[in-house]
Amino acid sequence: MNTKTLLTFAFSLAVVPTMACTNFLVTPGASADGSSMVSYAADSHVLYGELYHWPAATYPAGTMLDVYDWDTGKYMGQIEQAEKTYNVIGNMNENQVVIGETTYGGREELWGDSTAIMDYGSLIYIALQRSTSAREAIKIMTDLVARYGYASEGESFSIADPNEVWILELIGKGADIQKTKKGLVNKNKGAVWVARQIPDGYVCAHANQARITTFPWNDDPTSISSVQMDRIFDKSVTTVYAADVMDFARSKGYINDKVNKSNFSFSDTYAPVDFSGARACEIRVWAFFNEVADGMAQYWDYAKGDIKHDESTGYANNRMPLWIKPKAKVELSQMMHAMRNHLEGTELDMSQDVGAGPWHCPYRWRPMEWEVDGKKYVNERTTATQQTGFSFVAQCRGWLPNMIGGLFWFGVDDAASTVYCPMYASMTRVPQCMAVGNGSIMEFSETAAFYVFNQVSNFAYTRYSLIHPEIEAKQTALESKFETCVKAVDKVAQALAADNQTLAVDYLTDFSYATATQLVSDWKDFYKYLFVKYMDGNVKTPREVPAGYKYYAPKVDWPGYDEKWMRSVVNDAGDKLMIPEENK
């Protein structure tokens, strides 16, 4: 894509269901409790927040599976069904395998294989139903693409289990459609891709910009190509790639003769980073890295969109590393907090300029790009954003049996205003308040968590600095309580599982269901409290009714506007609002 196309693409991400997401990845050696953790935010203006569920099942040999495009519901075709599938809750299965994604797009001419069956969402959820480990999920996903073609744009996947965390980046090969006796065939069927295991003790992240640059090739014993996939379960292997990943790029003219195995960069070849790729995407990675590690100031200019390039290869040469070592072990609460970042403490914190209004709202409504006097400007695309459908922090806890170890902390709506609720990945029914079909993006439901949480957050946007602190306090208290409860629930479930695993799963299901149901009920009451307290621009607090009174008015405060906002009004309105001296 040219620069103008890339800019338009990246700053339109927020209105496309598949393209505005964030993943943070933490290896067991980098987490405080030894769990693998993956976070994900699905940031689409038209994605409904609900908790998906596929129950475990067995199928007769020869059964076929209908595949539908994840975003549109379009019928794509059929593939062979697995004889056995596993229970899946959201983006995590009963074997503690979790998969997240962010769409990076990449080179436009590589999109749109009309003969392909597999889209990015189908890859995720079919792999979750079939995999017992991260490595197996990678094998399944790349096999499916090779066999059935890839119908989506460039995608980054986070794939984890209790022992390992991987990043897989993949893009199609475009369309060379030819008519044959068997029908239309794409001679370029499949995809080019690279998968890398995050070194234990390190963290990684991606947010709609491809991030894998150079990698070891199969002359290194830790790396294999796709023709050696039988070795993927060898624990010494930490990199896997499509055999033609560089040859295909050369055939398309994406790289020059200065590029070889030592400097070939997947990301810079198939999804070159530019201003928007950094400012609208990589900046979310920077925010997470900056929260957990020192030394990120050196990459601030890059994150703001100042891209430097190598003269010989044309590749960006001032990029952030793919992974970093955190300064301390990462806590679960830290992961949740990172998902709520608004670039606080940086020059790009939108709550500090006049656009935030007098109540310092850190959000701007779309579009992200705007123009004044012929000059273009942008609103920042922070990690936390108003249009999130759902987000999660998944924990793969290897010291526990799989039925207990997989913990899916799930929240709907804006991550900064949600409460992450513990859902065990072995649970066999979804709480009604989060179930698919309870409301939709165009159908309000009073019992749906998505709308209950949206009522609170959207009310808070009107006077953010007053209302959001109350949300944050309640959010922190509930999540802390849930963490304590989970420790006790784990112990009870272990005791039950020793005698009856089915009873243990029933217990975990009941706990998850009841916790979510109570949370939504509490949040409904919370909205009523906030609305009564803050309606009509007032801040009301009750006062004790004195003896002999039937009614005593609550205390009413009017915090007023801050000076910066008042000055901006004066600068805009001039003397029209000024009280004459003689009337003061």
What are the C-alpha distances in Å from 422 to residues 226, 290, 447?
A: 37, 27, 19
What tens digit of pLDDT does each residue of 26-60 get?
A: 999 999 999 999 999 999 899 999 999 999 999 99
The structure tokens 């079919």 sit at 126
Which of residues 331 and 182 earns the better pLDDT score?
331
Q: What is the pLDDT of residue 14?
A: 35
* 4 band by pLDDT with thresholds 50, 70 and 90: very low
Q: What is the pLDDT of residue 11?
A: 44
Q: Say if residue 294 is exposed, middle or buried (CB neighbours under 10 Å; 0-12, 13-18, 19+).
A: exposed
Torsion of CA 275, 276, 279, 285, to 10 degrees: -110
Mark residue 208 as left, alpha or beta (left: phi above 0; alpha: psi -120 to 50; beta: remaining): left
Mark residue 532 as left, alpha or beta (left: phi above 0; alpha: psi -120 to 50; beta: remaining): alpha
- Helix 464-499 vs helix 501-534: angle between axes, to the nearest 10 degrees? 170
Q: Over the Cα atoms of the chain, what is R_g?
A: 25
Write down the mean pLDDT value for the chain.
94
Give mean pLDDT, residues 72-98: 97
- Is 9 a residue whose pLDDT tops 60? no
- Is 113 a residue whose pLDDT tops 60? yes
Q: What is the pLDDT of residue 16?
A: 40
- The rounded distance, in Å, linking the Cα atoms of 188 and 481 is 53
Amino acid residing at 109: E
Q: What is the bridge-based pairing of β-strands 203-206 and 64-68?
A: unpaired
- Is 330 a residue whose pLDDT tops 90? yes
Q: What is the bridge-based pairing of β-strands 53-54 and 36-42?
A: unpaired
Q: What is the DSSP letter of 500?
A: -
Collapsing DSSP states into helix, strand and coil, what is residue 186?
Answer: strand
- The rounded distance, in Å, linking the Cα atoms of 9 and 273 is 12
Q: Residue 290: CB partners within 8 Å, gap ≥ 6?
A: 296
Give me 533's structure tokens: 């307290």
Q: How many CA atoms lie within 13 A of 103 on its CB side?
A: 27
Q: What is the pLDDT of residue 19?
A: 57
What tens digit of pLDDT does each residue of 511-550 get?
A: 999 999 999 999 999 999 999 999 999 999 999 988 998 8
- The rounded distance, in Å, linking the Cα atoms of 50 and 413 is 10
Phi/psi at 318 (nearest 5 deg)? -125, 30
- The rounded distance, in Å, linking the Cα atoms of 67 and 284 is 32
What tens digit of pLDDT does each residue of 426-467 get?
A: 999 999 999 999 999 999 999 999 999 999 999 999 999 999
What tens digit of pLDDT does each residue of 278-290 get?
A: 999 999 999 999 9
Closest listed residue to residue 107, CA positions, set 278, 313, 248, 306: 248
| DSSP letter for each residue of 341-389 | ---TTSTT-GGGSGGGTTTT----PSPSEEEETTEEEE----SS-TT--
CB atoms within 10 A of CB 92: 28
Say if residues 396 and 332 touch (Cβ distance below 8 Å).
Answer: no
- The rounded distance, in Å, linking the Cα atoms of 320 and 299 is 6
Q: What is the pLDDT of residue 238?
A: 98
Q: What is the pLDDT of residue 584?
A: 65
Give mean pLDDT, residues 127-154: 98
- The rounded distance, in Å, linking the Cα atoms of 64 and 379 is 47
Say if residues 20 and 44 touch (Cβ distance below 8 Å).
Answer: yes
pTM of the model: 0.95
Q: What is the pLDDT of residue 552?
A: 85
Q: Where are the alpha helices (DSSP H) in 293-351?
A: 300-303, 332-338
Q: Where are the alpha helices (DSSP H) in 535-557?
A: none
- The rounded distance, in Å, linking the Cα atoms of 343 and 347 is 8
- The rounded distance, in Å, linking the Cα atoms of 188 and 192 is 10
Q: What is the pLDDT of residue 198?
A: 98
- The rounded distance, in Å, linking the Cα atoms of 422 and 114 is 40
Phi/psi at 160 (nearest 5 deg)? -140, 155
State the SS3 of 64-81.
Answer: EEEEECCCCCCEEEEEEC
Say if residues 280 and 368 touch (Cβ distance below 8 Å).
Answer: yes
- The rounded distance, in Å, linking the Cα atoms of 543 and 554 is 5
Closest listed residue to residue 420, CA positions, set 487, 332, 546: 332
- The rounded distance, in Å, linking the Cα atoms of 443 and 46 is 12
Q: What is the DSSP letter of 550?
A: S
Give me 218's structure tokens: 């199969």
